[in-house]
Structure 1
C-alpha cells in the first residue's frame, strides 16, 4: 500500500491512489467552470506521482512511525517533479503538436510548483528553472514511480485518452497570446492547489465532500430581502426628499442595467448616493440572469469592508454565507528547498493543518481588499493563488476603484480583462471619481456606453452639498492648524481633519487632546475591531449633534458612512479631496457646508510618490479654477475637473504604471509577457547557447511573484491584545483540537494589524512580540497596544479605557 498522508491524531493512512483520484476529482470540478475539466484534472492526478518511489515511502514510514531512524529531513525527498517530467516526456518532442507542448508546459509547471511558486520558464540569469526540473533533473526511481502510477491509479491507455481530451480543451480555450497563457497557467495552478489542500483537509478532518451551495435560489432569496428593504425606504417619511428620489432612481437604473450581458461597467454615483445597495441590487439581479456563483466586493481599505459587510448582513440577515477577508493571519515561509518542495511531505501536523484550513473564497458573498485581490494573481504564496479559480463566474464590484495603486494599474487592468474575456465575470467599477483606466498602455476593456447613470452632470449638481474653500496659499504647520481648529471647531460643530501621514495625524491629535472638545484618533495602526468601536462612538456623537474633532488619515475617505459639519483636508489628489468632501454634509442635512483644503507644511511625502504627484496636479487645477472657473462648470469636483485630473495624473505617472522591478531592471508586465513581442532573456539564451529556446512560454513567473508587493514594503499581520484577540491567540496556540481552524482565522482578522518589516524588527528587539507555531502566528504583548493609537512602538500602551 502506497501512502500519501498520515494523520497525526490517530496515525491513520491515506493511500496515494485515493489522494490522487480525490484531488483530480476536485480539480476537475474547478477546471470545468472554464471548460478545462481534464486540464485541471490532469494536474490533480499527477501532482504527487513522485510519492510512489521507495525513497519517499521509506522516508514517510520512518518519519512518522520510527523518527529515531529517520535519515532525511522534511522536504528533502522530491515528490513534485515526477508528474511534470512524465507530461513533458510524453508531450514535448519534435513530433508533438503546438497544443500538446503547451499543455505540458502549463500543467507541468503547476505540478512541479505545488509546494512553492510557479517556476520561471526563463529567468533573469538566462536559465530555465522549469527545464531543469522536467528535463534535466535525474530522479533515481522515476521509472519505478511511473510504472506504479499506471498500475495503481490509471491504466496507461486510459491516461493517454484523458490527455487527448485535455489537449482538445486547451485548443478550444486558448487564443495563444502570452497574456492569456499566464492567467491560464495561474488558473490551473489555483485549481490544483485548492484540490490538493481540500482533499488533504477532508482526510485529516474525516469529512465528507460538502454539498455545493445552490447559488441561484440563495441569490433569489437575497434579492427579495433587498427589495423588501428598498420598499420600506420608499414608504418612509423622507422618501420624497429630492436626494432620496434620485437615490431610488439610480437604484432602479442598476436593476435595468443588470439584464445586459456580462462586461466591465461603471457606476459613478456621487458620494452619499447609495452606492453599496445600488451595486448589490445590480449584482443580485445579474447573478440570477446569468448564473453567477459569487458576488465579490473589492475595496481599498479594511474600514470599508467592516462597514459594508455589516450593512449587507443586516439587510440579507445572513452571517454564515458572507465572508469578510481582510488579510492573511498566518505567515507562510516560501524558502524553496533544493527539490522545490516546501514543508508538506505527508505528515499532517497542527502547523500543516493551519495551512490546509479552508481559506479559498468559496463563500457566495465576499468582501475583500484590493491588496488581497491583486495578491491572488501576482503575489507569491499558495494561499493567495488558491483562491483564483473561485473568481470565475462572479460579479465583482470594485468600490472606490480610483484607489488602485498607480504602479499596479496595468496589472489590475490585465487581471480584469482576463476575468471578463475568459472567466465569465461581470465587473462594476464604483466611484464618484472614475479614473480613466482605459486610456493607458495596458488599457481596461470597458464596455462602450457602459456608465449606468446616464445623466451624471445633473446628478452631481443635485448632490452638491459642500463648497471647497482653497486655503493653500500659505503652508500651515500642525501648531497653526491646531490653533485654528481650537478657535473655530465649537462654532463649526463636528470637525473631521484628514492629513496625508500617520505621524502628522498623531502629532496633531496630541496637540488637540485635552481641549474643550472630545478628540478622536483613527489609524491603520488600530485593529479592525478597535476602529469599529471608535467609529460607533463617533456616529453616536454625530447623531446627537455634539461638537467634537476626529483626526485621521485617508482611511476614512473611501466608503465610510459618516457625515461631519466641517472637513479640513491636507492637499492631495483631486479624487482624495472629493472623497473627503463626501464625509461632509453627506446626507444634505444642511443646504451647504464647507470643506477647507490646506497645504500642510510638515508632511514628508518624498516616499509617497502618488500623493506627491496628486497634490501637485490638484494644485495646478486649483490655480486654473481661479482663472477660468467656467471650464470646470464652476465646481472644483465636477466630472470635467476629474477627467482633467486623471488625464494629467496618468500622463505624469506613465513610467510607474507597469510595476517596475528594480532588482532585475524590468517591468512586471514584461516578466509576465503581457503583449510583449519578444523577450530579451530569450534573445540572450539563443546567443549564449547557439540554439532556439525550446519552450513555447517564456515568462518569468517566479521572479515576478518574488518581487511583487502591492504595498512597497512587506507587511506582517500581528494579532493584538484587543477584545477577543486574546482568546483567539489562545485557541491557535492551544494543544486542544480546534474543529474549524478556518473560522478561527477569519475571526482573527478583526484583531490584526499589518506592520512593516522595520516595525516588526523594532518590536522583536524590544521583546514585544510572541511567536506561535514556529513563527506562523505573531502576537503583540499587552503594553504595546494603546487605547488611542493602536500599536505603540514605544511600549507605553495598556488597554485601560478612559472617557476621553
Structure 2
C-alpha cells in the first residue's frame, strides 16, 4: 500500500527521504487505519519551511507539520467524522504531544479561522505547497474544518463519544507514535515477532517445579493442577480469578496457567503487573529461572535499560551488533521486543488511563495478550468499578485474558459479567491445616505510645524474632529510637533494625537482606517498620505487632509471621493488633474500625480467616460508591481529566517535596557529577548529529536511573541549604559530611527532617 510518490529530495530527518520514513512507518502494522494515518502523519514536512529547517545547520527556526498533515488527511476524507477517521485525525495532529480533553481541545483550536491563521502564519500557503508537491492533492478548506469543530458538541453530533472510541483513539495513536519513533531510530519498518516459545517455557516450569521437594510441594502441586483443570472447563472465559492464601504457590500456578492460555489461544505477549517494585524484582528472578532473560523484560521507573543484540530470531544471523543506548531504551520502554513483561500496576493502568505520549507508546502491545494482575486487592476501592469495566472492555475487544490473584478475597468478581469470569481455585485452601501458621489477635486496649513500647519489649523477650509495623514514619522513628536506647544499655544494638521510606532504595535493600540473613540463621532480631515491609518482602518472623490499619494491610503484615510454617511455631506465632496510636494516614471508610473490631472479638487462627475476609469485603464493597469515577470522562473522551482523576485516587497526594541525592559513600557524588558533566559538554556541540544527541541523552537517562538508588523525596523546606546536583539533573545533594555527622541523614535512621517525617507516602 503506497499512497504517495514523493520526490526523494524531500526529507523527514537529516539526509533521510520522507517517502522512506512514511512507507516504513505504514508497513509496521497490517492494519488499514494505521497505514492511512502513517502515510499522512508527516506530509506537513513537505513545506519549504520544514525542508529548509531540516537541512539547515546551526540555529533553526520554529516550524510545524502535524497540523498541516492532519488537515490534509481530513480533506482527503471529505470531512467525514466516523470514529475511525476521527481517531486517525486525532492521532496525526497530536503525534508529537499528549492526548487532551477532546472537545475543549478541538473547539479552542478551530473555533475561529482568524485565530488559527494568527497562530499558524501562512498556513494556507504551506498547505498549497504540500498539495502541489503531492501531485495536485485537494487543498484543505480551513474554514469548513473550523465550522466542523467550532460547535461545542461536535462529538455527540457525530456519534464519537463512548469507551469504544476512547480506546480506538488510544490504539491508533499508540501505533502511530510507536512506528514513527521506531522508524526514526532504526530506519526500517517494525516487524512483530511470530516466534514464541510458550511450550518450551511450560516444560521448563514443570521441570523446575518437580525439582522443588519440600513439605509444601505436594499441596502446591494439587492446587496448581486444580487451577489448570478448571481452566480447561472454562476455556471460553477471559477473566480468571485465583483466590488463595499466601504460600500456596500462586506465582508459578499463574505463570503455568498463562503459558497454557498463550498456547491454546495464540497469544503474543504475557504481562504480569504487581503493586510494588520490591515484588517485581523477586517475580522477575522467579520468571527468569523458567524463561531465561532474552524475551523477559523487567520494567518500572527504577529499572535500567535491557541490552538487546538483535530484534527478532530471524535476524540472528545478520544482526550481530549490540544496539546503542538510545535503541535499547526505546525497545524497553515500548515493550516491542519482549514477549514477557514484568511491571508495576502504575505501568499497566497508565496504558488504560494515561494521556501521555510516553505511556501510550506501548498501548498497542496489550492486544492479544495474557495479563496477570497480582495482589489485585491493592486497587483502591473507589476505582474498582472503573478498573473492572475497563478490563471487561479490553478482554472482549482486544482479545486479552486476565488472571487476577489475591490472598485476601476482595470480591472483585461481583463487578464483572458472569459470562466472562471463572473462579479457578476452591476456597477450601484457606481452611487447610497448612494454612494455620499464625493467629491474629486485636487488643484495642493498647492505645497509648507507652503501652506499645512496653508490649514490644515484653513480646521480644518471649520470642527469637519480632516485627513491629506502624502507620506513620514519625511513629516508626520514635519507636526505634526508644528501643535503641534500651538495646544500647543491654549492649544488644546488633539485634535492632529500622525500615521506612526515609531510607534511600539502596539502603532499604541492604537492611532487608541483613534481616533476612539473621532470621535464616536463627539470630535474635527485631525490625521496626512502616507499611513498606508488607508486600513482596520475603521475611519470616516468630511474632508480629501491627498498629491498627485496613484489614488487608494487617493480613499482609501477618504474612511475614511464621511464613515458612516452621514446625511447632503455629502454637505461638501471632500478629497482635493494637489500636491506632500515632497519625493514621487511612480514611475512616477504609479502616472500617468498628466492623473489624466486631469481627475480631476473639483470637482467630489463619485457617479460620476465610469467613472473616468474606464478611469484611462484603461490608467494604457495599459501602463503595455505586458510581463510576473515570468512565463518564472516558465516554466524553476527556483524556487529560481521566488521567488526572486516576492519579489523584490511585496515588496519595504528596505535598511540596524535593528529590535529594544522599552521598552515602564518600566521593560517589563527584563520580556521578563528572560523568553527567561530560555528557553535558558533548550535548553543547552545535554540530552534533541527531543520532549522537539522542545517544548522549540515553546515556544521561541511564546515569539518572543509577542515581535513583541514592535518592529520596523529602520536604522542600528541608532542602533550602543544599546545592543542586547538576544543570541536567534538577535535584539537591546531601553531601557525605551530612551523612557522617547525621545532621541530615543517618545510616541507621534515614532522613532526619521533622517535616519529612510528617509526610506519609
When normalised by structure 1's length, the TM-score is 0.74
Distance 1:421 1:360 in 2: 23
User: What is the DSSP-based 3-state SS (H/G/I as helix, E as strand, rest coil) of the residue aligned with 2:601?
Assistant: helix
1:322 equivalent to 2:296? Answer yes
The match for 1:43 is 37
Distance 2:503 2:195 in 1: 36
1: distance between equivalents of 2:97 and 2:53? 21
- List per-residue Cα deviations over 1:348-368 (Å, max 9, x = no partner): xx9999996751123222221
Displacement of 1:131 after TM fit? 4.4
Give the conservation status (yes or no) of the 8 Å contact 2:456–2:468: no
| CA displacement, residues 713-755 of structure 1 (integer Å, 9 cap, x when unaligned) | 3688777656899677765554277969769857965752798
Partner of 1:465: 437
- Displacement of 1:540 in angstroms is 1.1
Partners of 1:200 and 1:356 within 8 A in 2: no
1:388-411 CA-partner distances (Å, limit 9, x unpaired): 111222211111100012343233
The corresponding residue for 1:2 is: 10
Query: Structure 2 vs 1, CA of residues 210 and 537 (structure 1 numbering), >3 Å: closer, same or farther?
Result: farther
Deviation at 1:129, TM superposition (A): 3.9
Q: Note the alpha carbon deviations across 1:320-339, whole angstroms, 9 max, x for none.
A: 43222222789xxxxxxxxx
Is the contact made by 2:37 and 2:91 (CA closer than 8 Å) also made in structure 1? yes
8 Å contact from structure 2 (residues 274, 343) kept in 1 = yes
CA distance in 1, matches of 2:364, 2:340: 15
In the TM superposition, residue 230 of structure 1 has moved relative to its aligned partner by: 0.7
Which residue number corresponds to residue 164 of structure 1?
none
Q: CA deviation at 1:461?
A: 5.5
Distance in 2 between residues matched to 1:380 and 1:23, nearest whole Å? 22
Cα deviation digits, residues 197-241 of structure 1 (max 9, x gap): 2222225xxxx6677545522x223222211111112xx3x3xx3
Query: Within the alignment, does 1:253 sit opposite 2:230 as a pair?
Result: no
Q: Would the alpha carbon gap of residues 414 and 530 (structure 1) be closer, same or farther in structure 2, given more than 3 Å must change?
A: farther
Is the CA contact (8 Å cut-off) linking 2:238 and 2:421 kept in structure 1? no
Q: Does structure 1 residue 699 correspond to structure 2 residue 637?
A: yes
1:14 equivalent in alignment to 2:16: yes
1:752 to 704, 708, 730: 708
Moved more, 533-542 or 760-769: 760-769
Q: How far apart in 2 are the matches of 1:388 and 1:149?
A: 31
1:503 aligns with 2:507: no
Which of 225, 229, 238 aligns to 2:208? It is 229
Structure 2 counterpart of 1:110 = 91
- 1:89 to 1:717, Cα distance in 2 relative to 1, 3 A: farther
For 1:152 and 1:459, how far apart are their aligned partners in 2? 75
Give, in whole Å, the separation in 2 of the partners of 1:191 and 1:716. Answer: 35
Give the match for residue 333 of structure 1: none
Contact 2:436 2:606 in 1 (8 A): no
Residues 618 and 600 of structure 1: is their aligned pair in 2 closer, same or farther, counting only changes over 3 Å?
closer
Give 2:247's aligned residue: 272
Give a deviation string over 1:728-787, Cα, whole Å, max 9, x none: 776555427796976985796575279898x36346523354245374x88775556643
Aligned to 1:24: 26
1:761-780 maps to which residues of 2 (within 5 A)? Answer: 761-762=716-717, 765-773=720-728, 775=730
Once superposed, what is the RMSD of the aligned Cα atoms?
Answer: 3.9
Contact 1:771 1:779 in 2 (8 A): no
Secondary structure of 1:114's counterpart equals coil
Q: Does the Cα contact within 8 Å between 2:23 and 2:39 map onto a contact in 1?
A: yes
For 1:258 and 1:720, locate their aligned partners in 2 and report how far apart those are by CA, in whole Å: 50
Residue deviations 1:687-731 (CA, integer Å, cap 9, x gap): xxxxxxxxxxx4322343355423143688777656899677765
Match of 1:491 among 454, 462, 478: 462
Query: Any conservation in 1 of the 2:661–2:711 contact (CA below 8 Å)?
Result: no
Contiguous gaps of at least 5 residues in structure 1: 7-12, 158-173, 331-349, 660-667, 674-697, 797-804
User: What secondary structure, in the 3-state scheme, does the structure 2 residue paired with 1:434 have?
Assistant: coil
User: 1:683-762 maps to which residues of 2 (within 5 A)?
Assistant: 698-706=636-644, 708-709=646-647, 710-713=650-653, 734-735=678-679, 745=701, 749=705, 752=708, 759=714, 761-762=716-717
For residues 358 and 177 of structure 2, the distance between their equivalents in structure 1, rounded to whole angstroms, comes to: 8
Say if 1:58 and 1:575 are closer, same or farther in 2 by CA, change over 3 A. Answer: same
Equivalenced residues, count = 672
Which residue is 1:335 aligned to? none
List runs of 5+ in structure 2 lacking aligned partners.
1-8, 139-157, 305-323, 683-691, 757-761
Shift of 1:463: 1.2
1:503-532 Cα distance to aligned partner (Å, 9 max, x none):
222322222235135222233344544333
Describe the shift of the 1:774–1:572 C-alpha distance in structure 2 as closer, same or farther (beyond 3 A): closer
Q: Is the 8 A contact 1:306 1:528 kept in 2?
A: no
Tell me which of 451, 460, 463 is aligned to 1:480: 451
- 1:684 corresponds in structure 2 to none
Cα distance, 1:368–1:460 mapped onto 2, change above 3 Å: farther
Partner of 1:375: 350
1:538 pairs with 2:518: no
Q: Check whether the contact 1:571–1:600 (CA below 8 A) recurs between aligned residues.
A: yes
Distance 1:506 1:50, change over 3 A: farther
> Residue 638 of structure 1: which of 609, 612, 619 is its match?
609
| Preserved CA contact (<8 Å) 1:563 1:583 | yes
Alignment match of 1:787 (pick from 730, 736, 747): 747
Does residue 189 (structure 1) correspond to residue 170 (structure 2)? The answer is no
